[in-house]
Amino acid sequence: MKPLINSALFFGMICIQTVQGQDKPAKLPGDTTLPSSKTELSNIASYEKDKFAYHVEDYFSKPKVDDFKLSPDGESISFRQKDAQGKRNLYVKNIKTGTTVKVLTEGKELIRLYLWANNNRIIYQQDKGGDENYQLFAINKDGTAGKALTPFPKVKVTTIQQLENDPNSLIIEMNLDNPEIFEPYKLNITTGKIQNLFRNTDKKNPASGFDFDKNGVLRAYTIRFNGTQNKLMYKAPGDKVFKLVNTSTWKDDFSILNFDYTDPAGNRVYVNSNIDRDKSAILLYDMKQKKVIKTLFENDHFDVSGLKISKKRKNTIDYFSYTGERSETLPVSDYFKALYHKFTSKFKDKDIEIVSVTDQEDKYLLSVSSDRLYQTYQLYDAVKDKFELVQDVMPQLKEADMAKMLPVHFQTRDGMTIYGYLTLPNGATADKPVPLIVHPHGGPYGIRDEWGFNSQVQLFASRGYATLQINYRGSGGYGKDYLLKGSKQIGRNMLNDLEDGVAFVLQQGLINKDKIAIYGASYGGLATLGSLVKTPDLYKCGVDYVGVSNLFTFINSFPPYWKPLLKQFYEQWYNPENAEEHQIMTDVSPALHVDKIQTPLFVIQGANDPRVNINESDQMVKNLRAKGLETPYLVSYNEGHGFYHEENRITLYQTMLGFFAKHLK
């Protein structure tokens, strides 16, 4: 069964775009002599001299009220509300009486996420300073009986699955006994008692991807064999032992979405698979016969993966979903067809996400958004057939003032069709071409940019900059061939895709060819640095945000839980033990080629980043400054792989805008 919460591994090193003054207590990570001072950063920000209708705070201050969720019984609605100190505290409101209780005060460490575990108990996650060792906590909806459920140092909780028939327990995965290997545990959310549900006795070929049914019975798991193969093991409720269903490689996807509970034998499951096909499809599969019973949903152009089943209406499939140019929902059941028609008729041309639905399906909490609408929460009462606006999350951002995000596609120099998005500032014309910011996404593999509201892109548009987001080869969602064409292409064809995308938008006549910048986070930071090495004359400046700079030091700093996937990394990225690929790694590691960089660079790093160690940024800054190149460096000592604290985000984007203003205006 698909878990409610999961964690990305290094194939998706996403930075959630969200700096702090450079206070430097003792024993901090990295070289503390390198970060720019507050005064230096403020001076850069001051280059943004023009007056604009919107400030950085309008886009990057955290909402006053947001993150709404319904309790399973629909009697309560929870939300986060920001106080005068910028802390986003947790509240619960009784829908019938209107009584509101402050449940939890956010302290030094941020509440990363929360959810209702049952009608009374709420669970939430926190780490320490962005180290991503997420710990789990629980508290009652009235603010009592708070408890740390996983108080284990340097242990990471990665997966949370609720149990339909046991609301007082969860299934979690954590690396409690071995930092490299995760195992599943049953967790009592009141007492904190844990029970191990599977022991990884073969440390060289560990099991992962555990699939439990609604009763908490382990039905399937995947053995990572020799680091690159996946062996799916399955056991129906009546069987005594797990049996091998199939063997695939990391290049294939065969994952269980849910179990078909209408099958008394327990052999039928819903799977998402691209085995023997290019685009992932949703299949009904017989695990005993090892064959496809029926292809339930597929798309000719995009991978599909979303499946929603109603527990109340005898496990009826309500809808399928996928991401194409936009998010798409395909209603299946008669019930949901009628319901979704109500939603789409009410909120025309908007993205509609069901955030919460009660167990009785009498209330639906919807998130409504678009490329120009940040987000509103809407409560639909199915009994009364009535919509109610719960919250306009960012009311200061007027939809009519925001820029449109346009899907684009183009042909690369080697004949591949690449997709992406172009956002132009309002009023851009051929008579007055505008500067361009190329913004490659992180990952790189399996991740993609999507259509929707993007605070960074809208901020840039408000300053007169266009933004090009390219889903280069290796990105996810466009099929297996599209994904695999990115293998062994970091620093090579993946950068060519960015250059070809720039050439494409220049042909449209709206971009000033002499005012182009590049900015990316995580892998996007590596792409930024690589582009400044490969095509130093194309870009006027660059911004590297928690980016890899040296593939050799990057590999050596992997967190322990990436180690079991190292062989896959070697097949997908590069293998330093192969002489030819070792040379390629040398060629595409920007920190080893700073002599070729002529462009001003702004570097940003979270000091506690477990994915991209601070040394990646430190060595880049040292090398560039040694050759006399302007390299402002912003480090936050309470952040990791991306900045989440409000004050840090605001400082980051104020400085970035000043940097762009200095070099693009």
Whole-model pTM: value is 0.95
Tell me if 60 sits within 8 A of 396, measured CB to CB: no
Q: How far apart are the first and last CA of the chain?
A: 52
- Predicted pLDDT at 41: 98
Residues 575, 567: Cα–Cα separation, whole Å: 8
Residues 6+ apart with CB under 8 A from 50: 463, 661
Of the CA atoms within 13 Å of residue 316, those in its CB half-sphere come to: 11
Among 86, 119, 121, residue whose Cα is nearest residue 105: 86
- Residue 327 confidence (pLDDT): 97
Sheet holding 254-259, edge to edge: 254-259, 268-273, 281-286, 291-297
Strand partners, 410: 418
Backbone phi and psi for residue 434, each to the nearest 5 degrees, phi listed first: -110, 160
Report whether 49 contacts 37 (CB < 8 A).
no
- Write out residues in the chain with pLDDT < 50, as ranges: 7-25
Q: Cis ω on the peptide bond leading into residue 153 (within 30° of 0)?
A: no
Rounded distance between C-alpha atoms, residue 512 and residue 170, angstroms: 55
Distance CA 393, CA 374 (A): 7
The pLDDT of residue 314 is: 87
Q: Which domains does the chain have, with CATH numbers?
A: 38-58+405-664 (3.40.50.1820), 65-199 (2.120.10.30)
Q: Are strands 541-545 and 511-521 parallel, antiparallel or unpaired?
A: parallel
Q: What is the pLDDT of residue 4?
A: 59
pLDDT in tens, 475-507: 999 999 999 999 999 999 999 999 999 999 999
**Residue 240 buriedness (CB in 10 A; 0-12 / 13-18 / 19+):** exposed
- Per-residue confidence (pLDDT) for residue 159, from 0 to 100: 85
- DSSP secondary structure, 213-226, as one string: -TTS-EEEEEEEET
Asked if 76 contacts 92 with a C-beta cutoff of 8 angstroms, the reply is yes
